[in-house]
Each structure stands twice: as C-alpha cells, then as structure tokens.
Amino acid sequence: MRSERTIIHVDMDCFYAAVERLDNPDLNGKAVIVGADPHGRGVVSACSYEARVYGVHSAMPIREAKKRCPHGVFVPVNMHRYEKMSGHIMDILNSFTDKTEQVSVDEAFLDVTECFKLFGNGAQIGRMIKERVLTQTGLVASVGVAPCKFVSKIASDLGKPDGFVVVAPDEVLTFLHPLPVGKLWGVGKQTEKLLHALNLKTIGQVHACPVEVLCAKISDSSAQFLKELAAGMDTRTVETLGEAKSMSEERTFQEDVGDKQLLRHVLLEQTDEVMRRLREENMKCRTAYLIFRNTDFTKHTRRTTLNRPTDSSNEIFACIEKLLGQEDFYGKKVRLIGMGVTHFGDDQEPQLDLFGQKKTEEVKTKSIDAARDIIAQKFGKDTLKRAALTPQADHTRP
C-alpha cells in the first residue's frame, strides 16, 4: 500500500541567536541581536524572541535595532560557526531520508513518504527529528508535517517557537482557510494589497473566489497558482540538493574603500578561504571572478577563465589580482568587495596539458595548499596565515 505523501518542514528557531547562546550561556534570557556593528550601517541578521518584542526583526538597519532595543546584546555574525551547526543538523535530517532539500542555513524540507516502515508515520518522524536535533545540538527546531511543501512550511511557522504542528490530509482545508492570504507561498506585500483590494483576506476566501476575478488583478499564471495553493494543492517535490555552481566570499566595508592595497589584502584572505572550501569538496574551478559594489550600490562582476581547472590558491589569486589591477571601479570608492570561483570540474579534464605535471612551482604550491588545509582542519582555519595577511605585513607581496 502506498503511504500518503508526507512532507516535513524543519525550521530552526532564531538560529543564529540560538547558536550564539549555545556558545555563551550568559546570553540566555537576554535580547540577542546578531548582525553588523551596532554603530555602523549594517543590518540585523537575526535576533532572539526577547529582542523581537521590541520590534527588532532581521534585515532591519542595525542602528534602528540599537534605538529600539538599547539594552540588547549585539553579537557579530559568525557565519562559519552557523554553517558548521547547520551541517550537523543536515546530517541528522539526512539520517532519516536522503530526500532532503536544504532551503537555507536553518531550514529544510524532507519527503518522508517512504520512511514510514523505518520510523513510523509523519507525526512520529517529526517528533523524532525535534528530539534528535535538541539532544545532539542543543538547538530547538520547529517542525511542520503536512501532505505538501507549502502547508508544512506554514505549519512549522505557526507553532513557533518550539513548534510542532501536524496537518493531516483531511485537515488541510480547515487548517488553511482561516489563515490570512499573506501566508500563501509567493504572496508578498504587493500581491497581498491586490488581494485585499478584491476583499480577499483569508486563504479560504481565495479558495472560494472564481479564478476570473483573480485574473483581473494578477497574472493568469499566478492566479492559477494561488487557486491551487488555496485548495491545498502543491505538487512541487522536495528537490534534493544539486551541486554548488559557484563559491564566493564578500565583504561590506564600514567605510568605503579606495585603497587598492587594502582591497587586495581582503581579496587574498577571501581567495584563501574560498579555495580551502573548494579543495575540501575535492573540486577544481576554471573561472575566477571579482565582485564589487560601488558607493552608488551598483554591483559589478569581472571574470577570467583559465584553460584548465585548478584548485591552487595562488593561481586563482593571480587571476583576481589581475582583475583588480585592471579595474578602476568607475573612479569611485568601493563599498563591497568579493571574489568567487565557478565553472567547476575535476581532475578528469579530458584535454591533457603539455606542461601539466612538469611545473615544479605548481607542485610546490600544491603541497603548501595541502599542508595548510590539514592545519586548518586540525587547529582551525585562522591558525596559519599568509605573512602578507599579518597586520605588519608589507602589502606588496603575496
């Protein structure tokens, strides 16, 4: 007998703030705001429920958050730490099924339809996930169980914090229909306004509304889509993670930068990091790109492609340095600088190279890269740095 399709949405509660608390229990019970320097001009990345009471929310300018919640504890973003925890959580989820779709660092869908024999029904698996995440990481996950993706997402959200909401197939409509239209997938502020204009406030009203009426305000395809969602129909499958298409690092400066030496320094640091990650994945790349944002917020990329794949930090930095050298940033200062690599391949590049194995310099840097990776893995990635990245360095050498 085929089981009913069952999708679980797992969403970590205040993920960044919760990880910070894990590392520093003094933060418990306090309003924790993770984000940029509170005196700078960055934004809030995440905050605890204690801070939300004061109207602080993510993506709010950090100064505004400081104004609203002056007693809050402001913590800088430690993305690598979050990614590591996220990796742990994904490992736990993957131990239930390989049909997992990681949507962001703290959010994932699981299709557990075929796991019933192993772990029990959807509600039981949902419980197990919550418990296992809590015992193994100390973090709280909100879980929604439903017959389709978008209902499970709404379900996990409704129960927050520490949510656990199960929507059985025959309860989907009674669950959805009282909810405001804004909860529908793809309905943002603009569409919400349009729907309100049609006097459609709840999902149930959208369900009851003829599609022609919707078409008067929104496009035919969106109208059709919303009607289906309102009827609890969402046939989208859980997309198991495809391979990454590029890897990059970016940094926004507190103050706009015109000094190329400083930019070069930052790019070198970023290249080291990106290439370390690339090698960790056993991948090679052929294209390196430079990203920058001017003071006027326009974002630009410049790229260069090698004629063979590489995983050498120095080789990619040579490309980045060249791109940097050619760039005049339209005569403006730079607000954000970054670099990335793409066009992935592996050693199995079919075209052989005349000078392939013979370059001793290449072999040397390869073993340096390998040694640095081992040290980074064992003792942390900031243990060993290039001399050029130390504060007293002469910035003209790599």
Least Cβ distance, residue 61 to another protein (angstroms): 40
Shortest distance in whole angstroms from residue 12 CB to another protein: 41
Can you tell me the distance from the alpha carbon of 180 to that of 200, in angstroms, rounded to the nearest whole number?
Answer: 9
Single residue of 158, 318, 336, 384 touching another protein by CB under 8 A: 318
CA distance 234 to 220: 17
Compute and round to an integer the Cα radius of gyration of the chain.
25
By CB under 8 A, is residue 398 in contact with another protein?
Answer: no
Structure tokens at 219: 């496009």
Max Cα–Cα distance, the chain, nearest Å: 73
Full strand arrangement of the beta sheet holding 246-257: 246-257, 334-345, 284-294, 299-310
CB 287 within 8 A of CB 245: no
Q: Give 205 or 304: the residue with its C-beta nearer to another protein.
A: 304
User: Quick check: 297 binds another protein (CB under 8 A)?
Assistant: no
Q: Does 315 bind another protein (CB under 8 A)?
A: yes
Position 304 contacts another protein (CB under 8 A): yes
**Cβ nearer to another protein, comparing 69 with 288:** 288
Question: Residue 317 Cβ, how far from another protein at the closest point, in Å?
Answer: 10
Residue 106 annotated as part of some ligand binding site: yes
Residue 23 annotated as binding? no
Q: Report in angstroms how near the CB of residue 388 gets to another protein at its nearest.
A: 19
Measured distance CA(92)–CA(88) in Å, rounded:
6
- In whole angstroms, the minimum distance from the beta carbon of 315 to another protein comes to 7
Stretch that binds another protein, among 18-26, 43-51, 78-86, 356-364 (CB under 8 A): 356-364
* 107 a catalytic residue: yes
Total binding residues for another protein by CB under 8 A? Answer: 20
Instruction: Give the separation between CA 166 and CA 112, rounded to whole angstroms.
Output: 14
Distances (CA, A) of 76 to 20, 37, 40, 216, 306: 10, 7, 12, 47, 36
Options 37-45, 164-172, 277-285, 353-361: segment touching another protein (CB under 8 A): 353-361
Binding to another protein by residue 354, rule CB under 8 A?
Answer: yes
Instruction: Name the catalytic one among 20, 101, 107, 249.
Output: 107
- Counting contacts by CB under 8 A, is residue 308 touching another protein? yes
What is the Cα–Cα distance from 358 to 362, expressed in whole angstroms? 8
- What is the token pair recorded at 164? 């656990």
If one asks whether residue 356 binds another protein (CB under 8 A), the answer comes out as yes
Stretch that binds another protein, among 52-60, 112-120, 344-352, 369-377 (CB under 8 A): 344-352
Examine residue 350 and tell whether it contacts another protein (CB under 8 A): yes
Structure tokens at 393: 């360095």
- Comparison of 196 and 308: residue with beta carbon closer to another protein: 308
What is the closest distance, in whole angstroms, from the C-beta atom of residue 367 to another protein in the complex? 20
Query: What are the tokens at 342?
Result: 């793409």
The residue among 356, 282, 347 whose CA lies nearest residue 309 is: 347
Please, which residues have CB within 8 angstroms of residue 253's CB and are 6 or more apart in sequence?
334, 335, 336, 337
Beta strands in 89-140 (DSSP E): 100-104, 107-111
Cβ contact 78:36 at 8 Å: no
Nearest to 292 by CA among 303, 279, 308, 307: 303
Report the 10 Å Cβ neighbour count for 324: 19
Stretch near another protein under the rule CB under 8 A, chosen from 99-107, 121-129, 265-273, 316-324: 316-324
Which of 117, 358, 378, 397 lies at the binding interface for another protein (CB under 8 A)?
A: 358
The only residue of 307, 390, 392, 396 in contact with another protein, by rule CB under 8 A: 307
Q: Which stretch binds another protein (CB under 8 A): 54-62, 135-143, 246-254, 348-356?
A: 348-356
Q: Can you say which residues are annotated as belonging to the binding site for Mg(2+)?
A: 11, 106
Q: Can you say which residues are annotated as belonging to the binding site?
A: 11, 106
Residues carrying an active site annotation: 107
Q: Return residues touching another protein (CB under 8 A).
A: 304-308, 315, 318-319, 322, 348-356, 358-359
